[in-house]
Structure 1
């Protein structure tokens, strides 16, 4: 396992915007996606708003923001407390393998425990073997298949 002791994870702050936007652009490129700039702008605003269920955590390594998570909490019908859904996790390619992804996930696990949330869950592409190696070290896939209708 990678050493996460030199990685700092914290809540994103307004001054992280430029670093996050650069990482977000790389994230979209990784998934071969193009988003309207208005969606990126709205994502940032939601992550910075106390009125949104969406929150962002960033990872710093050597004083530089090198990764992020975007998550949200929501109620559920099969749980008593809130669920935490990890929607996005990305680490700069130049620092992969140095514990940044693990530190980001460990941070979310800690937040879930701290806040009494019922579950942390996420999904990833079936062929994303790098991410799956990390994710599989936490929990086995639950065997569910995702369906999505976009409008």
Structure 2
């Protein structure tokens, strides 16, 4: 079956919400319907920096990718951050994640962004196998501090 990667559309709301809810569960992140509604709104708002792509197979959404540009002052460039990447468990291993990353990479290239960057959990071994094949692992350690 053919896989299509395309921009997220308003008609995708219900299927996207199911995927995004599964993504939040995967990372043990508490998420409400209101939160998903806010993010979906961002992704469809042409004035918001976040954008979304979906992977579709046989008329069903099987994956999603959310990305946005970010400035890199030290390098005086704009780069691209892949915030969310998720493929439904039933569709894993069939190239959807590769295709979504490649589509975001093409978008970064089209926009002249310097690098495509993302993070993942240290114990996300299956995804890291793909990421190690596609990209260079950096030496940077991430910190979070609540304001």
TM-score interval (norm. to shorter): over 0.9
CA contact (8 A) 1:56 1:71 kept: yes
Alpha-carbon distance in structure 1 between the residues aligned to 2:139 and 2:71 = 22
**Counterpart mapping for 1:2-151 below 5 A:** 6-151=2-147
Moved over 3 A (4+): none
TM-score of the pair, normalised by structure 2: 0.94
Report how far residue 38 of structure 1 moved: 2.5
Report how far residue 114 of structure 1 moved: 1.5
Structure 2 alignment gaps of length 5 or more = none
Work out the number of aligned pairs and report it.
Answer: 147
CA contact (8 A) 1:59 1:66 kept: yes
CA contact (8 A) 2:21 2:31 kept: no
TM-score of the pair, normalised by structure 1: 0.92
Q: Which has the higher contact order (CA 8 A, sep 6+)?
A: 1
The one-character-per-residue Cα deviations of 1:77-119 (angstroms, maximum 9, x if unpaired) are 0334421100100000001000000000010111111121111
